[in-house]
Structure 1
Amino acid sequence: MWTHDATVRSAYWIGGGQWAGKTTVAGLLAVRHGLVHYHCDYHDARGHEDRRIAARARRGEPPC
């Protein structure tokens, strides 16, 4: 749930090795307990980083 200062009040994170079934387990838990399931993996995170770097470049700022 988001708070007034745009932070997440509570979140559950599932960690584990590649192909361990984290996404499957998260989806099953979300359905069973009425939770919101956000899917984010390396490819999603990489796209976010690419957009962040592109935005900095458009503003003439260094990519870091």
Structure 2
Amino acid sequence: MEQFKSVIDMLKKINVRNSSVLDSCKEEKLRQDIDYENLFQEYWASDLRLKNAIALLEAVEKELAAVKV
């Protein structure tokens, strides 16, 4: 159970860093540079997958905790 919490905490820290990178992207540069826009889209997609993984792990952790009770 502690390993689950450690993994979830680590993923949340990565998610915070991803969010700051996404927030720092300049909209005008996104419109002008196709490579920059593609990189932003890939980063955004990976951020979404990371959020989904965190939600899934939290749900599994909750179910495991309920089974132990």
TM over 0.5: no
Normalising by structure 2, we get a TM-score of: 0.28
Structure with more helix by fraction: 2
Normalising by structure 1, we get a TM-score of: 0.30
Q: Which has the higher contact order (CA 8 A, sep 6+)?
A: 2
